[in-house]
Amino acid sequence: MQPCGVLVSTPKRRGSSFHRSEWLASRRDPSSPLADLRGPAHRARAIGAVIRTGGARGESENEIARCIEAAVAAG
């Protein structure tokens, strides 16, 4: 566990409304996996397909990385 990802628990943070507000904020963030409506399995399949296709075409790592970013943004 990484300390930067740990929040000290307070009574205000323990409430379900705090967790819901965190979830809503993450869901609206386009770079968050929660914003991807495909779900984790479909997201992983889309990224895997991009990597396999790029490798079969002989694309560079930078080209594949750009395609991965596009696949993630398409979610």
> How does pLDDT run across 5-53, given as a tens digit for each residue?
666 656 555 556 667 777 777 777 777 777 777 888 888 999 999 999 9
pTM over 0.75: no
Asked, for residue 63, whether it belongs to a domain, the answer is yes
Judge contact between 68 and 45, C-beta under 8 A.
no
Predicted pLDDT of residue 5:
63
Residue 59 one-letter amino acid = E
Q: What is the pLDDT of residue 2?
A: 58
CB 64 within 8 A of CB 50: yes
Position 26 in a domain: no
Identify the domain containing residue 54 by its residue range. 37-75
C-alpha pair distances (Å), 29 with each of 22, 32, 33: 11, 5, 9
* Domain assignment present for 54: yes
Total count of domains within the chain: 1
Domain-embedded: residue 72: yes
Identify which of 49, 74, 42, 75 has the alpha carbon closest to the alpha carbon of residue 64: 49
